[in-house]
Structure 1
Amino acid sequence: MKLVFLHSSDTHGFLMPTDYQVSGDYTAPIGLSRVSSVVKSERKKYGADKVVVTDAGDCLQGSPLASYAHSTGDMTDLDTFTQAYNKINYDARCLGNHDFNFGQDYLAYYVDNNKASIINDNIFDAETDVPAFGKEFQIIEKSGVKIGFLGITTQYIPHWESEDHIKGLAFKSAYDQIKKYAKILRPQVDILAVIYHGGFESDPQTGEATEPHRGENEGYKILTEIPEVDVFLTGHQHRRLNDVVNNTAIVQPGYRGEAVAKVEVELDDQTKKIVSMSTSLIDTKDYEPDPEIVDLVSDLDKRTQTWLYQPIATLDEPAPIENAMKGRLEGAPFINLLQQMQLWFTNADVSATAVMSEKAKGFDKKVTLRDVILNYPYANQLCRVKLTGKELKEIIEHSVSFLKEDETGKITFLDRWIKPKPQLYHFDVFYPVKYEADISKPVGERITELTLNGEEIDDSKTYHLAVNNYRAMGGGFYPEYSMDKIEFTLDKDYVQMFTEYLTSGEVKVDQTKNYRFY
């Protein structure tokens, strides 16, 4: 007997086959509408009673369509958004960290109107210690086989999310909770599946650490220390991953609906025990968008496209970034403009930012909402952080630790920040400090020049740094950031800030380059 698991994750509100880079282009190899066609095809192939469909969250935020649906303040638009996911007929789901970006009321509506069971084993009401959303487990039956689901979300959300979005919630370790519930649920079922909005802190095959083990991703520990788990359906890292390790099938389907992960489980007809398992990834680009979802979303999508055309400002001169990689290494007018804006809102001494999109092109003279969202797609907020000069230098040293000199002498990034998942949104650059780094020197000793307004940074002096809340609350494994150093957080997102700043009448794009790596 064969059962098939199909798994999506990190679709980030990309419902239609478009990335919204070019208006009218609906040929992108992504989107929930393509995911739906894959699921329908597989159900037809095997029979609905032999196919299990799951999702690991990060659905509410990420695409321009998701931003627009939230911006209208009309729950009818959120309902359309939610119904699109309901069209997939998922058997079970969990939440992702970005599903908290628009607050608990927005999330609660989505959860309450979701037809699939939301499984939640580690986000609890802080007072009552019961799951704040969904249920702790789900048992379903397919072709006489009992399948148990546990669902968990990365416990690291409090390090990124604004306090009002997670007020009253307690986040527990994914590993601790799965260890607890697996022992309870496994004896009751033939297959135990874990849906995890989280990934692997170490290579699943070799055990080699791929990031600091701070609790954001606990997949390797779950994989190697909780043998009760048969099928491990992961997300969060945007990786394309499929394997069978330690008698556990592990998958992760990339992001934006680029793929559907597939696990085929062979069971003994009589005993219902697992005989073998195999995994694969189905690329959605090979499937036409599902007309049901396209029809459902078309009006919302059209209004999104109109919304994106809205001009918000006209600059005296453009603020381009030639390409993301070159901008990180050499600087660019757009990066400077973003830093200037952060300083304008916070009155800080120094600003820090990363290039947030690999497709960032910066701004022409005419700036639209589309330009802002495509260059800065995250729902971050801006903070001001209080640091000593010594702490600021250590933060900058951490950033330049991302860099290496290749065999040709060219400065580039260490492989671990590019593979298995590109993470260059963690690489911050700083402004208006002038700094240089000698990449041939040991990590932690690379900064050879660091001045602000012509004066060297003083280790004992206090400085104020403008940086987004994701970084200020610990995202990216930087040293020295902590909650107690945050002086304030602005109640504005980056679309609001760009709109306000670019229409302030005070904008002159700084074209100079203030840092150098050699």
Structure 2
Amino acid sequence: MDKQLTIYFTSDLHSYIYPTDYRSPGERDLGLFKCANRFHKDGSTLVIDGGDLLQGSPLGAYCHDTIGSAAQFGEMMNCCGYDYVTLGNHDFNFGMPYLESYLDALDGCCVCENVRRPDGTSRFPARVRVLENGLRVGLVGIVTDYVNVWERPEHLAGIAVTDPMEAARQALEALRGKTDLTVCVYHGGFERDLASDRVLSATRENIAYRICQELDFDILLTGHQHMSVPGQMVQGTFVVQPLDKGQEFLRVTAVRRNGRWDFSSRTVPAGGSCPDRWLAEFAGMERGAQNWLNQVVGHLPAPMTTDTPVAMAARGNALADLFNTVQLAASGAQISVTSLPNDPAGLPQTVRRQDVLNAYPYANTLTILRITGAVLRQAMERSAEYFTREPDGSLRVSDEFLKPKVEHYNYDYYAGVHYVFDCARPRGSRVVELNVDGRPVADTDTFTACLSSYRASGTGGYECYVGCPVLGEIGTEMSDLLLDFFRVHPEHLPLKPGTFRVL
């Protein structure tokens, strides 16, 4: 007799629950409720999330900053019938007590094998679920160990995030003979392009391809990269990944026929109507969030508008100037480095809290480094790789920053320094002018530089920062520093625009 398992899988919801993007009026086809309304559970169904639930939207900021507990996110997941979740790197952004408030309220089970107690045992070990049809499903969760690179140590108090590969290997071995099917839920992505097999990254941040090569899980549910990966076989393992913010989910089906497994999946876009009972149950939280988000924090003489990514990168923009100005004011550093999200949000003339959180959606804190002129030049050369020229001479974004994942956020803007990129020159030699205080920068010069803790870790191709002396850490999140800056300058922002050209 055939046996079947159906999995509904979301990942990287980033606290987008309601059908709103917190930017435009009206209902949008995104968010948890617009996905979960299409889940159909029975005794052979599992609903699973791949992590990064607690941070990312203005609702997430309101829940942390005002309520101080993530329990309601657990209750939302309960409404939607989640059986298992793993943890994403951003779930650690607010520390373990906040994370535990979510997990304590969750009816489902957390599996995250490589989150370890001080005695070395797993805090969230693998599980075996026996379905009504008798099918034994082994579930192992793991999270990228780049959590250790990005996260503040105090947010990881009482735990250690270990090598996910080794943790998954050990857990899979322990499940031998106890399961009919194994599922790995990995908050991490692919280090190789699945179409061309081209190596995308040599770091350990994403190791999904290696997991398929070295381990024999039947199904690998991935996340973290925010890219849509339809179901396919990779080295004998069936893999998928959904887009972020609840834009879509995966319906994965495994059927046992004649002694072998057949796998299939369907990528389902968010849509339909949200059940009234869900909206009503959390209406108080949503109203509180909207009131909090609508608070006016300042005024601008003119809106800070956005443009195409290549135009903003080549000509500069007021948003990047604002971020760098705030970083310089907070740090006292000579140089500031910042980036914009993939989908930047401008600021209107009347600025509300919601606008600031949309403009800077990350939970980044700041790091002050001592860097040499050589390091600064290396970093700028990496930024200059963002550009390439068409045969007609027009600028466009390099494919390296677009495929397989869009990474506009890995282009950096610099303040406190004058520079010129010549994109007609070979990569690695495009910085043709580099001056500080009107003087050419020598490789042996030293400067203080303020940048996000994410960038200071070397992520995004900026390994040149690794090993630079750390002069200080600013533990206040950048979004809060922006709000404080508006409070001090409610009518006029003393921006320090970047001075650069792209040829």
CA–CA separation in structure 2 for the residues paired with 1:515 and 1:182: 52
The code of the aligned residue for 1:241 comes to V
Output aligned runs, 1:205-216, within 5 Å.
205-210=195-200, 212-216=201-205
Q: What's 1:391 paired with? A: 375
User: Structure 1 residues 284 and 320 mapped into 2: Cα distance closer, same or farther (>3 Å)?
Assistant: closer
Contact in 1 for aligned 2:315/2:501 (Cα 8 Å): yes
Aligned mate of 2:143, from 132, 144, 153: 153
1:107 alignment partner, one of 91, 99, 106: 99
- Contact preservation (8 Å) 1:357, 1:374: no
Alignment of 1:493-504 (within 5 A): 493-504=477-488
- Aligned pair 1:84/2:104, yes or no? no
Q: Does the alignment pair 1:60 with 2:48? A: no
1:325 shift after superposition: 4.0
Gaps of 5+ in 1: none
2:13 paired with 1:11: yes
Structure 1 runs of 4+ with >6 Å offset: none
1:121-179 C-alpha deviation (Å, 9 max, x unpaired)? 11213x31122x32233333341111000000011111111221123432222222222
C-alpha distance in 2 between matches for 1:483 and 1:129: 29
Amino acid at match of 1:215: R
For 1:253 and 1:165, how far apart are their aligned partners in 2?
Answer: 27
Q: Is 1:98 the counterpart of 2:90 in the alignment?
A: yes
| Equivalence for 2:187 | 197
1:456 match: 440
Opposite residue 7 of structure 1, the aligned amino acid is: F
Deviation by residue 1:445-478 (Cα, 9 ceiling, x = unmatched): 1100011121111221210111111111232131
In the aligned structure 2, how far is the partner of 1:12 from the partner of 1:430? Answer: 28
| Separation of aligned partners in 1, 2:126 and 2:472 | 36
Q: Deviations over 1:224-251 (max 9, x none)?
A: 2212x10111111111112123332111
Q: Which residue of 1 aligns with 2:125?
A: 135
Match of 1:333 among 312, 318, 323: 318
Query: Is structure 2 residue 35 aligned with structure 1 residue 35?
Result: yes
Q: What are the within-5 Å matches in structure 2 for residues 30-429 of structure 1?
A: 30-39=30-39, 42-43=40-41, 48-75=42-69, 78-125=70-117, 127-131=118-122, 133-210=123-200, 212-227=201-216, 229-242=217-230, 243-268=232-257, 273-285=259-271, 287-361=272-346, 363-429=347-413
Question: CA shift at 1:317, angstroms?
Answer: 5.0
Partner SS state of residue 268, structure 2? strand
TM-score with structure 1 setting the length: 0.92
Amino acid of the residue matched to residue 229 of structure 2? Answer: L
Partner SS, residue 23 of structure 2? coil
In the aligned structure 2, how far is the partner of 1:56 from the partner of 1:104?
Answer: 18
Give CA-to-partner distance per residue, 1:327-359, whole Å, 9 cap, x none: 122101221121111101111111111112514
SS at match of 1:367: strand
Give the conservation status (yes or no) of the 8 Å contact 1:472–1:486: no
What are the Cα deviations for residues 244-276 of structure 1, in whole angstroms up to 9, with x where unaligned? 2333211111111111112211213xx7x4331
Q: CA, structure 1 residues 203+319, in 2 after alignment: closer, same or farther (shift >3 Å)? A: closer
Distance 1:295 1:173 in 2: 42
Q: Assess, with a 3 A threshold, how the Cα gap between structure 1 residues 55 and 231 changes in structure 2: closer, same or farther.
A: same
* 1:417/1:423 contact within 8 Å kept: yes
C-alpha separation in 2, matches of 1:110 and 1:469: 25
CA distance in 2: counterparts of 1:360 and 1:56, whole angstroms: 26
* Cα contact 1:328–1:355 (8 A) shared by 2: no
Shift of 1:324: 4.2
Picking from 15, 20, 23, the partner of 1:21 is 23
Greater mean deviation of Cα atoms: 138-147 or 90-99: 138-147
Distance 2:449 2:28 in 1: 39
Amino acid at match of 1:183: E
Q: List alignment gaps of at least 5 residues for structure 2.
A: none
In structure 2, the partner of 1:437 is 421
Residue range with higher mean Cα deviation, 133-142 or 79-88: 133-142
Is residue 71–residue 103 contact of structure 2 (8 Å, CA) maintained in 1? no
Taking the aligned partners of 2:195 and 2:318, their CA distance within structure 1 comes to 43
Q: 10-19 or 104-113, which moves further after superposition? A: 104-113
Spell out, residue by residue over 1:16-41, the C-alpha distance to the aligned partner (whole angstroms, 9 max, x if none).
00001024x2x2111111121111xx
What is the letter of the counterpart of residue 264 of structure 2?
S
C-alpha change, 1:321 and 1:432, in structure 2 (3 Å) is farther
The 8 Å contact of residues 309 and 408 in structure 2, kept in 1 or not, is answered as no
Greater mean alpha carbon deviation, residues 162-171 or residues 504-513: 504-513
**What CA distance in whole angstroms lies between the structure 2 residues aligned with 1:512 and 1:51?**
54
Task: Judge which range, 95-104 or 488-497, deviates more.
Answer: 488-497
SS in 2 for 1:62: coil
CA distance in 2, matches of 1:304, 1:473: 32
2:458 equivalent in structure 1: 474
User: Aligned partners of 1:122, 1:16: CA distance in 2, in Å?
Assistant: 31
Secondary structure at the residue paired with 2:37?
A: helix
Q: Is the 8 A contact 2:128 2:136 kept in 1?
A: no
Q: Secondary structure at the match of 2:481?
A: helix
For the Cα contact (< 8 Å) 2:191–2:207, is it kept in 1?
A: yes
Distance 2:496 2:364 in 1: 25
- Give the aligned residue type for 2:6: V
Alpha-carbon spacing, 1:486–1:512, altered in 2? closer, same or farther (3 Å): closer
Q: Cα 1:186–1:220, aligned 2, differ >3 Å: closer, same or farther? A: same
1:353 and 1:281, CA in 2 relative to 1: closer, same or farther beyond 3 A? same
Distance 2:390 2:309 in 1: 19
| DSSP-derived class of the 1:72 partner | helix
Pairwise CA distance, 1:508: 4.1
- How far apart are the structure 1 equivalents of 2:486 and 2:295? 14
Matched-pair contact (CA < 8 Å) for 1:319–1:509:
no
What is the root-mean-square deviation in Å for CA atoms of aligned residues?
Answer: 1.9
SS at match of 1:180: helix
Out of 379-388 and 326-335, give the one that drifted further. 326-335
3-state secondary structure, aligned to 1:178: helix
Displacement, 1:510?
Answer: 4.1
**Are residues 498 and 513 of structure 1, via their aligned partners in 2, closer, same or farther at CA, if it must alter by over 3 Å?**
closer
